[in-house]
Every structure is written in structure tokens, then in C-alpha cells.
Amino acid sequence: MGRLNAGNVALAHEIIGRYPRTKSALIPLLHLAQEQDGWVSDEAMVHIAELLDLTPSEVLGTCSFYEMFKREPVGRYLVNVCTSIACMLGGGDELLEHCEKSLGLTPGATTADGLFTLNEVECIAACTEAPCLQVNYRYFHRITNEEVDALFADLRAGGRSGEIPPHGTLTRVRQQVDPQRWDGRGGEGLPEERS
Amino acid sequence: MTDIAENGTEAVRGVAVTLNGRVIDAQPGELVINAAERAGVYIPRFCHHPRMQPVGMCRMCIVEIDTGRGPALLPSCMIPVAEGMVVETESPVTRKAQDGVLEFLLVNHPLDCPVCDKGGECPLQDQTVAFGPGESRFVEEKRHHEKPIAISDVVQLDRERCILCDRCTRFAKTVAGDPLISFVNRGNETEVNTFPDHPFASYFSGNTVQICPVGALTATPYRFKARPWDLDQVESTCTSCSVGCRVAVESSSNQLVRYLGVDVDAVNWGWLCDKGRFDFEAVNSENRLARPLARQGDDLVEVSWSDALTKAASALGGAKERHGSSSIAVVGGARLTNEEAYAWSKLARSVLGTDSVDAQMGDGLPSDVVLGLPRATIDETCAAGTVVLLGPDLKEELPILYLRLRDAVVNHGLNVIEISASQTSMTRYAAVSLRYRPGEAAVLVQELFEHAGDVDVQADLGRARALLEANNVVCVLGRPSVAERADSVVQAALRLRSRVPGMRFLSALRRANIHGALDMGLSPGMLPGRVSLEEGREVFTEAWGQLPGSVGLDTAGVLRAAAEGRIQALILVGADPLADFPDRDLARRGVAGAGFVLAVDCFATDSVRQADVVLPAVSYAEKAGTTTNIEGRVSRLHQKVTAPGTTRPDWMIACDLAERLGGDLGFETAEAIWDEIERLAPAHSGLTAQRLASSEGLEGIVAAGPSSILETTMDVTATATLPVDGYSLRLVSTRKLYDNGTLVQQSPSLAPLAPGEVVRANPADLDRLGVASNDRVRVASSRGAVVAPVEADAAVARGTVLLAFNQSGSGAADLIDVSLPVTEVRVETVGIGDREVSG
Ligand code: SF4
Ligand code: SF4
Ligand code: FES
Ligand code: FES
């Protein structure tokens, strides 16, 4: 928890090496920290500042601009319930109320076991599918109360791990393309299959 | 266009812009807001600042601009002029837009003007009155924040008042290079803040207070001290170091309350460092000496001026009579104005008859080097092809020079070669940074030109050589460390000069008016106007009546002679050798060994407490005159407040002493002294009081007088490596901006900022010695020992240890022996953490 672990430091250096300017790696490294701990701690920001020769203040400035970087611990599952207008008309408020009851949380809070954080959010661009929610940014469209209960029960039981990785996970498959083949100049050197 | 046309080169046609129906002549590339201002039309603004890149953050400067595609509301601080452009700054559409911007800016503003320091001089107030709606339609709850939070020891931030103009944050990042404050969060939640527990500890933080267009940022030393309409102001020059920044000095009820930077192109661009901005607190200090003192047994007791002067004069006269003039010495003088330095120089030479006068405290460079080398101004240095840094850490000693050079590197691609004993604040901006072993700067320079040196530095040396091929190379020359003698540095500089044709120099000696003091002859063998005793003998003998026959002693020589009982009267003019001389043991023996000590000072420093007679002097805010900066630029100093008690200006004290000794310096006023300087000092000829008082004098005038001193006395030959002792490390000792000096210590806001005594060494050396970071270590030299905590610091070169000069604690001065070329020290653990280890 906190500073990047050895594996991630190695990865950080690799990421830094991909950019002409070190500073450009700032957002990727914030993702890396969030992937490691599920949120971005002050220690992680200080560590990133050291790695990028920035001040912690500069890292905070960028990090705090983005809602999706969490600077407080959040649950393994971040539940975002939309209550903007389309969802409101389609039962979003009721959906939120049900989630509150089901998890025993008010919006913004996290369960004692650290499993769930509940949020009320503005439109998440799935208006045709109202009411809807996200768990770690995975969409659940036109979801009913029963489906919500089933979903939470599955997650509590450790299920659906293939579908919903823990909060902060960027990708479960690290792709490695030979840098020689994407050396970054206007498409030349892209993998053949894509160029 | 005008500049170029005046120079007689190509006349560039301006850009024709229609501004409120009138055609104006703008400069190509000029921003609309600036072009309008030059044409007498003020467009309101918050974020725009003439010394920073525009960001278009506040939208206050929005005006109707038609570039041929119909009028549109555009931020005039972001739009460069174009031919045929039509600008309307007073149209109904512009008015309405500005109204709207102000109404929005005020939505979250607390409107607590009655308790706000900025009230009365606030751009937000002023522009709301001039351009604002008068009434707000906002009835909802405003945003709330904790009232001021301390973002540093001297700066407080009231986030409710902030209008998010990005001036402070832009300054911190782009001008100071200390991005320790940023915009945090976003949207309605956006605020300026620091990272938790990482305060805005920048030497330049006070500038953000000055440029904040609202009362969001306030400085602890000024908070609630005065209202703008109570302030009295004069323009003057900062004397806290030798950059000579121009300042506006403000007082209320005869108390200094605030310094503001004045924008002059040649020097500080409106910026000040925090030391220069806040150390006026020392002038207000209750610890100022207010009345003359004389020794009675172990005590110094208050006496009248007449008694004190009589006592001093009889001791000086007696010394001269019984032991000859060479038994009298004058040390110090960097605190004085040029006029005062001249008066003391004249007193010493013509009345006391001694040439043993020295304004430097053994921590500078030989005066013939400082005065004799061809010079460059700050502007010329910033515009040079390559700059060689051979001196102290500029950020610590000459902060605004650091800002100027940093700007030249970052924004104009200046190439800097740094030659130093360990990393400095400039290292990250240097194109090449070369390390020399303390005491061996000249060896490094020799290797540079002779393609010698270790393989691992060959590439760096090669790059440095290539950069030295540039046209127009300037060397910023100072004393990199007081733990090595000056010789090797001087040799290094002269060798560089001999290999780089046309090389010019900018002095990096830090102490107040040291350059003025040297110019006025407060250095052995020198007379006013940068001439040697011999060159000036004829002119000055005629003007002054008599001159000493031979060259006297410098400060080290004086202290040595005093320790041996050969100095009967030692005069300390604003000098504190016990704190400032690099070798405390010698300073102690010298001050103790002098038959009689006269101190002229503002504070009872350690050395003053040893004196037999103490004469209280006025400080820089209490007198008028001129000072001279690193460039040789003469600027005027103005009196702002009246001095405490019965203190007198130093020139008057010199006149008083002369009179009691049966002489007459012939001065009734400081102005009369300047007239004599202008008449007699070759380098200052033509620099009349009228010129200095004219608009030309506003940014000071460089005294560019000739000097032929250097060619005659310098020896560049001997360069030798010093034997290496495998068990020892070499000491490097430099100053920090905040130290144990009087000005800082007597300024309550600054005193706590002195970092205290810490030994720094390379982690590899500590490993080798079996010492852990944070241990308490004993650092011992042939002279003495210091016990302090140690920190591993990769910025310190291997084989060296760094100990800042004049911090609390016993200090590097206990280790240094000025007769040795370098200070070799041994380091051993005496305690782990706070625990002492015995044996
Ligand atoms: S604190 Fe002042 S200078 Fe900084 S952004 Fe706010 S209003 Fe601007
Ligand atoms: S840089 Fe020097 S002259 Fe300028 S404000 Fe600081 S102390 Fe004063
Ligand atoms: S309103 Fe809920 S997704 Fe758009
Ligand atoms: S002054 Fe132009 S946008 Fe702020």
C-alpha cells in the first residue's frame, strides 16, 4: 500500500521510456498506482513525483482533476448509480434507494468489509438503457432490483471475477508490442496487421 | 519598431489597428491588451501579467475584436494584433461581457473587503467599480473554505477570495521554478493548494502575494499591519544582497511594513526574493543599537556621543602616535552606501594614515580580480553565447540573479557550464556541470583545455570545450566555498580568460554593497574609482592631503597581525568577523589581540560585544545615498523612516572621528560626497547626481570605468593537485539564503527558516566510513571539530562533505584554517539518532 512496489517501479520506468518527455507518463503512472492499491494514496503521489522529477503538488494538481482517480480508499467494487434525467424517469431514484438498502450505505460511503462503495452519479451515457448502473465502470442496463441483489450476492461470494476485476484494474492482459514496430512516427512501423 | 528605427538600422512598419475608432500603431506580435495600454486604453485584467506568459484564464479582458470575419468577444491578452484589426473596448457588447465576467467572479467571492489586506488597492474592487455590474443576482449559498491556511511560513492563502487567475501558480512554476502550489480539484471545487505537508517553501514566495490580484494571498509580516491608504512609499534599492533589486519601501507610522518589487528591465523585473522582501523586520527590531556604548570593565554601558567619540579618537590618535598608522586597521564596509564607503576610505587613508582597510571578510575574491576583469551586465550575461558559472549556489546567495539566469536557460536556450564542487540549484539548468575537487578548480580548467582528466568526464569536458567556442562567453565569478582558499578559483578564472578570447565577467560576491565598497577603495591597495594606490597616488594625494606609503593588509592579514599584537586599533564598520570570517579561531584571536576595538554597527553582534567603544549606525532604510550592484550599476537609496535613538549615518561618524583627530573630511552632506566621488574617482566620472536622479537613473547607471589593475598583478602559472588523504574528506562550505546572520535572525518571520546545522555527504562515502544517514557525527579538521547530524545526499560529490556556513551551532568556521588551501576533515559517528554513543 502506498508507494509503487518493485514490479510496478520497473513497469513505471518502462512506461516513462515510451515518452519523449518524462512528465507525459504522469497519467499512466497514476493509473498504475490506482491499479496497485485500488486508489491513489499521498505516498503514491510522492513516489510518482520522484519518478518523474515533478513536485508532489504537480502530481496532485493532475490527479485531483480527474474524478476517476480516487484519493480516498474505495471498495473493491465501485457502484455508480445514475440519477440524471433519463434514468430518473426510468426509475433511477428507486434503483439508488434499493442499492442503499441492499448495501446498507448512503451514497459516498463504503461497506465495513471494504467490498462496496456506492455513488450517485450524473449521466453515464446509457440513457436508452435506463435505469442503469456501473460496477467498476462495467455497465448493467435496465437493471431490476432482483438483478441488483443477485449481482451484489455474486460479488460478495467472489463471483463474476472474469467480468468485473477489482477497482483500479486497468487491464488483465499486458500486451507487449516490440517497440521497434511502433516507434511512434506517424504510423510507420505499426504492426503490419494494422497498417 | 521605434527602438530599431532609432538605432538607425531597419525601420519596421507597425501594425495598424483601429482601437475604439482611432487607428493606432501596434508592434508586430504585440498582444491587443498591451497595444491598447500603450495607446492609453486600459483593458481590465486579472490573470495577465507583463512578466509571464498569457493564459487567458480569467476572461476579464474580453473585448470585441474584428479580424475581418465580424466582431467577436475575445480575450485581448491572448490575441496578437493583426493588420486592419478593429477593437472595441467600450462597446455595449464589450461592457455587457465584462459585466458578466465580474458577476461570475463575484459569485463565490466573500466580499469581506473591510477585513481584507488588499482592500483599497485591490484590482478586483477597482475593476468591479469601473467595469462591474454593481449588483449580483446570485442568492444561493457561496462556496466556503477554512479562512486563511498557511501555505508556507510567510504566506497565507484565503481560498474563498481566490479568483483562480493562475498568477501565483504560474509564477511558482514558470518563474521561480518551484511548482509547489497547483490548482487542486476541478470545477466549482477548484482551489489553489499545496500538497499535504509539502509547503510552498520557495525563496520567491512573497512575489505571489504581490501579484495576486485579490486578497487571497497575504504575507505574514504585513497581515493586518496597515491599510493601503495609510502607507507612505519611496522607491529605493534592496541591500540584502548585491543584486540590487529595485524596491518600493512602504511604512506606516514610521515603521517599515512592506517591500514591493519595482519592475526594472535591467535587474529584477519586479521580482524580489523573500529575504529582500521581508528582512526589513530587522530594521524595526527592538534590538537595534540606539545609543553609543563604551566599555567599563566587563560591561558596555551607554555614554554620550561626545564621550564615545572622544574615547575612540584618543585611542586611535594614541595608536597612531605611539605605534604608527600601520597599527590601525578598518575592517568591513559592505553595509555602507557608496558615499559612506568613500568617507571611510578617505578617513582611513588621509586621517588615520592606514591602507589596512578591507570590506571583504575573507570570504570573497581579491579586489583587483573583482574590479579589474572586463565586465558584463546581467542582461549581457543572460544574452551571452555561453555562461560559465564558477561561484556559489546562486539561488542561495544572489536569488534574483538565479531567476534571471534560469529564465535565460529555460526560455531563451542559454548554455551554462557549471564548474562547482558539488551540485547547486543551477545544476539542473546547466548544459554541462563539471565537478572539481575542493581547492583544485584550476586543475579542472587545465584538464579542460589540455584534454586531460578521467575518461568518465571526457565527454563532459568535450562538450564544455565546444560550448566555450561560442561568441561572447561570460563567466559568473564568485567564491564557490569558503573552505578552500580563493587562489585556485582565481587561477581557474584567469586560465579560462586566457583561453577564451573576449571573455567577460559578472561578479557573484553577495554581500550588500560590497561592490560599492570596493569601488570606493575599501580594500588594501585600492583607491576610489577602481584605481590602485600607485595609479591614483598623485590625484588623491593632492585632493586628500596624504596617502599611506605602502599597501596595507586585507582582513585575514589584519586579524593575523592583531593576533600577534601588531594592531593597536581595530575598527569594525558593520563587520562581525566572529560570525562571518571563515576561520573563527583566527577571528577570535584577532579581535581579542587588538589593543582597542571600535565597532560601528546597527546590532550588538558577537564581535560588537567585544568592542571597547560602540557607535550606533542608521540602517539602509534610514539613509539616502547610492549603492553599487554586482554589475557596477549605481542606484539610489532613499530614506523611508527615521532612525532609532541617536544613531547616525556612517559618513557622519567618519566625519566626526576625523574632526576629533584634527582632520577634516570636508563633507556637510552625503550629496557633497557624491560630487567629490564624481570628480575624483575615474570609474565614476560623469555619473553626476543629476543623471542618477533623472529618469535614466531609475534602473541605475553602470559605472563602466576603466581598469588596468589586473594585467599587472596576476599570476596564472602554478596549478597543482593537492595530495589526497584516503581517510579524509574535503569540506565544502557555502551559504544558505537564511542563516545565522543578523538581518535574518532579527527578522522574526525569517529566523525560523534557517535550516540549522546539517552535515551532508555522498551516500557512498558514508557507507565506506560506516556512518548511517541521520547519525550524529563529529567532523574534525586540524583546526577543530563540529558535532552535527549527517544526511546522505547524492548531490554532494564523492570525497567531499558539505556544511553550510554560519548556521546555528558551532559551524564550519570552527573547522577552517585560512592559511591552508583546503579543509580536510574526518567524519565519525558519535551518536545514532538522538542517542549519544560514548567512547
Ligand atoms: S491565489 Fe491569487 S494569484 Fe493565486 S490564483 Fe488565486 S487569485 Fe490568482
Ligand atoms: S536578490 Fe538580493 S537584492 Fe534582490 S531582493 Fe533578494 S536580497 Fe534583495
Ligand atoms: S441519464 Fe442515466 S445514463 Fe444518461
Ligand atoms: S487577463 Fe485576459 S483572460 Fe485574464
Q: What is the pLDDT of residue B7?
A: 43
Pocket of ligand 1 contains residue B485 by CB under 6 Å? no
Residue A124 CA, closest ligand 3 atom number: 3
Span B736-766, pLDDT tens digits: 999 999 999 999 999 999 999 999 999 999 9
Asked if the Cβ–Cβ distance from A65 to B185 is below 8 Å, we say yes
Q: Which three cell numbers stand for residue B565?
A: 599584537
Asked if the Cβ–Cβ distance from B195 to A65 is below 8 Å, we say no
A2 contact B CB<8A: no
Pocket of ligand 4 contains residue B272 by CB under 6 Å? no
Residues A94 and A146 in one domain: yes
The dotted CATH code for B293-364+513-545+556-702 is: 3.40.50.740
Nearest protein Cα to ligand 1, atom 3:
B212
Q: Is a pLDDT exceeding 50 seen at residue B423? A: yes
Task: Report the share of chain B in percent with pLDDT over 90.
Answer: 90
Q: How far is B760 from chain A (nearest CA, A)?
A: 20
Q: What is the pLDDT of residue A193?
A: 44
Alpha-carbon torsion angle B683, B525, B636, B241, nearest 10: 120
Residues A45 and A101 in one domain: no
Q: Is a pLDDT exceeding 70 seen at residue B104? A: yes
The answer to whether residue A189 sits within a structural domain is no
Q: Find, in chain B, the residue whose alpha carbon is nearest to that of A41.
A: B196
pLDDT band at B134 (very low <50, low <70, confident <90, very high): confident
Residues of A with Cβ-Cβ distance to B185 under 8 angstroms: 64-65
How far apart are alpha carbons B110 and B159 in whole angstroms? Answer: 10
Residues A41 and A87 in one domain: no
How far apart are alpha carbons B651 and B669 in whole angstroms? Answer: 9
Span A68-99, pLDDT tens digits: 999 999 999 999 999 999 999 999 999 999 99
Span B253-302, pLDDT tens digits: 999 999 999 999 999 999 999 999 999 999 999 999 999 999 999 999 99
Q: What is the pLDDT of residue B452?
A: 80
Q: What is the mean pLDDT of residues B574-598?
A: 97
Q: What is the mean pLDDT of residues B92-98?
A: 95
Span B484-507, pLDDT tens digits: 999 999 999 999 999 999 999 999
pLDDT band at B657 (very low <50, low <70, confident <90, very high): very high
How far apart are alpha carbons B61 and B621 in whole angstroms? Answer: 38
Query: In this structure, are residues B176 and B207 in contact, taking their beta carbons and an 8 Å threshold?
Result: yes
The one-letter amino acid code at B749 reads S
Contacts of B202 (CB under 8 A, 6+ apart): B152, B172, B176, B178, B180, B274
DSSP state of B348: I
Domain B729-836 of CATH type 2.40.40.20: yes
Q: What is the pLDDT of residue B716?
A: 58
Q: What is the pLDDT of residue B712?
A: 46
Q: What is the mean pLDDT of residues B155-179?
A: 97
How far apart are alpha carbons A51 and A139 in whole angstroms? Answer: 35
What is the dihedral sign for C-alpha B588, B594, B598, B600?
negative
Q: Helix B123-131 vs helix B92-107: angle between axes, to the nearest 10 degrees?
A: 140
The DSSP bridge partners found for residue B195 are B198
Q: Please tell me which residue, B837 or B289, carries the higher pLDDT value.
A: B289
Number of domains into which chain A is organized: 2
Q: What is the mean pLDDT of residues A12-21?
A: 94
Span B29-39, pLDDT tens digits: 999 999 999 99
Q: Is a pLDDT exceeding 90 seen at residue A180? A: no
pLDDT band at A177 (very low <50, low <70, confident <90, very high): low
Span A103-121, pLDDT tens digits: 999 999 999 999 999 999 9
Asked if the Cβ–Cβ distance from B195 to A59 is below 8 Å, we say yes
The answer to whether residue A72 sits within a structural domain is no
Span B474-485, pLDDT tens digits: 999 999 999 999
Span A30-52, pLDDT tens digits: 999 999 999 999 999 999 999 99
Q: What is the pLDDT of residue B454?
A: 80
How far apart are alpha carbons B732 and B736 in whole angstroms? Answer: 13
Q: What is the mean pLDDT of residues B39-44?
A: 96
Span A127-174, pLDDT tens digits: 999 999 999 999 999 999 999 999 999 999 999 988 999 999 987 777
pLDDT band at B723 (very low <50, low <70, confident <90, very high): confident
User: Domain boundaries in chain B?
Assistant: 13-105, 293-364+513-545+556-702, 378-507, 729-836
- Ligand 2 environment, Cβ below 6 A: B 238, 240-241, 243-245, 268, 272-273, 275-276, 398-400
Q: Is a pLDDT exceeding 70 seen at residue B796? A: yes
Q: What is the mean pLDDT of residues B349-363?
A: 97
Helix, strand, coil abundance in chain B, percent, nearest 5: 35, 20, 45
Q: Which three cell numbers stand for residue B277?
A: 522582501
The answer to whether residue A115 sits within a structural domain is yes
CB pairs under 8 A between A and B: 37
Interval between CA B140 and ligand 3 midpoint (Å): 27
Q: What is the pLDDT of residue A189?
A: 46
The answer to whether the peptide bond before residue A131 is cis (omega within 30 degrees of 0) is yes
In SS3 terms, B76-121 reads as CCCCECCCCCEEECCCHHHHHHHHHHHHHHHHCCCCCHHHCCCCCC
Contacts of B162 (CB under 8 A, 6+ apart): B191, B192, B214, B216
Q: Is a pLDDT exceeding 70 seen at residue B193? A: yes
Q: What is the pLDDT of residue B721?
A: 75
CA angle B564, B608, B353 (to 5 degrees): 55
pLDDT band at A194 (very low <50, low <70, confident <90, very high): very low
pLDDT band at A183 (very low <50, low <70, confident <90, very high): low
Q: What is the pLDDT of residue B718?
A: 57
Same CATH topology for B13-105 and B729-836? no
Mean pLDDT over the full length of chain B:
93
Q: What is the pLDDT of residue B710?
A: 60
Q: Find, in chain A, the residue whose alpha carbon is nearest to that of B195.
A: A57
pLDDT band at B707 (very low <50, low <70, confident <90, very high): low
The dotted CATH code for B13-105 is: 3.10.20.740
Q: Please tell me which residue, B445 or B726, carries the higher pLDDT value.
A: B445
**Is the whole-model pTM more than 0.90?**
yes
Q: Is a pLDDT exceeding 90 seen at residue B527? A: yes
Contact map slice: A 78-117 vs B, CB within 8 A: none
Whether ipTM tops 0.85, in short, is: yes
Q: Is a pLDDT exceeding 50 seen at residue A195? A: no
Span B316-336, pLDDT tens digits: 999 999 999 999 999 999 999
Residue B61 CA, closest ligand 4 atom number: 2
Contact map slice: A 20-79 vs B, CB within 8 A: 42, 45-46, 54-61, 64-65
Q: What is the pLDDT of residue B456?
A: 83
The answer to whether residue A32 sits within a structural domain is yes
B183 contact A CB<8A: yes
Q: What is the mean pLDDT of residues B607-612?
A: 97
Q: Is a pLDDT exceeding 70 seen at residue A181? A: no
Q: Which three cell numbers stand for residue B292?
A: 553609543
Owner of C-alpha cell 570590506: B359
B196 contact A CB<8A: yes
Q: What is the pLDDT of residue B131?
A: 87
Residues A103 and A130 in one domain: yes
Residues A101 and A31 in one domain: no
Identify the domain containing residue A122 by its residue range: 77-156
What's A35's domain CATH number?
1.10.10.1590
Task: Report the share of chain A in percent with pLDDT over 90.
Answer: 85
Residues A83 and A120 in one domain: yes
Q: Which CATH superfamily is domain B378-507 in?
A: Dimethylsulfoxide Reductase, domain 2 (3.40.228.10)
